[in-house]
Amino acid sequence: MNPREVFTLEGLQLIENAVGHDVDEVPHHFIDNICIKLFIAKKAGTFMGQHAHAYDHGHLVAHGEVRVFIDREFTGDFKVGEMILIEKGKKHVLLSLEDNTVGVCIHNTHGQEDAVVTEKTVFGDHLKESA
């Protein structure tokens, strides 16, 4: 299935894979209560996300292109240099549209040790059609 033809998550089965299979997660950086997380989706058609946070955060596309779904609804396509605002409590998933897509999540940790995840269902899942 071509990821550029996916505009809904309905009818798709997300198969959980470990980070490191389809998505590389570079060590996080912490600077003055800011958490910076860098992710590399090796293949187009790789999902990153489907989780929510306790606080708003930004996702910067550093390389490639992503399709964003918030609360399972298509939000838009974002290219290099574009920042996506993810509001607190909103479940979000990003779909890489190109190989080697790089994204950077930027969180104010509000004094916590890490970006607080309130709900997480899948991570690093590759696009699969439901049986």
- Please identify which residue in the block is written with the tokens 């899942």: 125
More confident residue, 69 or 121: 69
Q: Determine contact, residues 123/16, Cβ cutoff 8 Å.
A: yes
DSSP 62-105: EESEEEEEETTEEEEEEETT-EEEE-TT--EEEEESSTTEEEEE
For 57-68, the pLDDT digits (tens) are: 999 999 999 999
68 vs 25, higher pLDDT: 68
For residue 4, give the 3-state DSSP assignment.
helix
Q: Distances from the Cα of 107 to the Cαs of 23, 28, 42, 62, 116, in angstroms?
A: 19, 11, 23, 16, 9
User: Which of 31-35, 56-60, 77-81 is predicted with the least confidence, judged by mean pLDDT?
Assistant: 31-35
Task: Select the more confidently predicted residue: 72 or 13.
Answer: 72
Give CA–CA dist 12/61, Å, rounded. 24
Q: Where are the domains of the chain?
A: 3-120
- Is the pLDDT reported for residue 120 higher than 60? no
Question: Confidence class of residue 54 from pLDDT cuts 50, 70 and 90?
Answer: confident
Q: Report pLDDT for 109.
A: 80
Domain at 3-120, CATH class: mainly beta
Give the residue-averaged pLDDT of 101-121: 74
Q: What is the largest CA-CA distance in the chain?
A: 47
